[in-house]
Amino acid sequence: MPRVPVHTITDAPEQSREALRRLERRMGRLLNIHAEMAHAPVVLAAYQGIQQAIAGHGSFDPKTREAIALAVAAVDKCAYCQSAHTAGGQAAGWSLEETVAIRDGAAHLGPKLAALLAVAREIAGNVGYVSDAAWQAAREAGWGDAELAELFAHVAANLFTNYFNHYVQTEPDLPAAPGLEGWSPRD
């Protein structure tokens, strides 16, 4: 059971309702994570703020963004986000098998994307610290300073949702990603 009830648009705090309407239009329905964020308008605004910053200023293509999200969700053991980004990854052009391989760190993505995801995994798994070897491998693979700085925003956005799901124990309302069938908020 979630720690906070799932709001509807009509019973959410007034300050959260318009944001929920926008999210519902964008996603096709209101997801539990967003309906739980609505309890505190600041949480929903913070989530939307980083998402809008990435959408408006980010340089990574949708496939790269989804690969980052899958890698970070796997490191954080967030079944909700792994499931959400499996669907998002497929919409961006990854096959189902590729999304599983990205989560497992076993995908054959080419050296450039593999190096970027290695840095993302280290950021998420080491409280922001990245080894010189991973950083240098990303540089040698062709990633520049601006892209490596941007990567941090993507990882932070995903940490925000992963940790929020753990914190409030978001109930599943999405099809489980392969290997996560039967997951619960405590997984």
Question: In which residue ranges of the chain is CATH 1.20.1290.10 found?
Answer: 62-167
Say yes or no: domain 62-167 is CATH 1.20.1290.10.
Answer: yes
Burial 83-94 (b: 16+ CB within 10 A, else e): bbbbebbeebeb
Distance set, CA 40 to CA 35, 36, 146, 163 (Å): 10, 8, 33, 16
Tokens 């959410």, located at residue: 12
3-state secondary structure of 187: coil
* Cα first-last separation, the chain: 13
Query: Over its length of 187 residues, how does the chain's per-residue pLDDT go in tens digits?
Result: 779 999 999 999 999 999 999 999 999 999 999 999 999 999 999 999 999 999 999 999 999 999 999 999 999 999 999 999 999 999 999 999 999 999 999 889 999 999 999 999 999 999 999 999 999 999 999 999 999 999 999 999 999 999 999 999 998 899 999 988 777 666 5
pTM equals: 0.94
Cβ atoms of 16 and 44 within 8 Å: the answer is yes
Cβ count within 10 A of residue 81:
28
DSSP 3: S
